Amino acid sequence: PQPTLAVVGRPNVGKSTLVNRIIGRREAVVQDVPGVTRDRIAYDALWNGRKFTVVDTGGWEPDATGLQAAVAAQAELAMEAADVILLVVDATVGATTTEEAVAKILRRSKRPVLLVANKVDDERLMAETASLWSLGLGEPWPVSGLHGRGSGDLLDEILRAL
């Protein structure tokens, strides 16, 4: 079986957009309104000749109540099932209490966790990513899932971690 990457994070941070960027296709459903991504959809990805599975964990999105508990549950599942976990944060919003709670869980992970600062569409937004160090998950990787900025570097890092 090929290694698995799980993508976790709050609704609307751009998980599905980033998944599409990683797999190089538009199969994960991207929506402006949270609540439509189907539960834990797995996709095949290929980068530098290596195959891996990407899981877009968006199944909790319809449940707006108890969001924090739901994201925490996704993180727990990801830690059990995935070889590498991506925690995606919207850099234009910064870390919320939900991300602080989920980061606390992920810091216990035996598997590597990569912190992604998404929606860094241009250089100007790079400064916003520095505050994410406070999550205690190491260096934030700045990317724009929408435009592709930084995604090659992130994919190289994913392969190193897988």
Annotated binding site for GTP: 9-16, 56-60, 118-121
Q: Which of 3, 34, 59, 62 binds ligand GDP (CB under 6 A)?
A: 34
**Which string of b and e fits 140-155 if b means at least 16 CB within 10 Å?**
bbbbbbeeebbbeebb
Binding region for Mg ion (CB under 5 A) out of 8-16, 38-46, 64-72, 130-138: 8-16
Binding site feature residues: 9-16, 56-60, 118-121
Q: Which does 146 bind (CB under 5 to 8 A by kind): ligand GDP, Mg ion, none?
A: ligand GDP
The answer to whether 150 contacts ligand GDP (rule: CB under 6 A) is no
In angstroms, how far is CA 58 from the centroid of its own chain? 10
From candidates 4, 6, 8, 17, binder to ligand GDP by CB under 6 A: 17
CB 7 within 8 A of CB 55: yes
Contact 36, 29 (CB under 8 A): yes
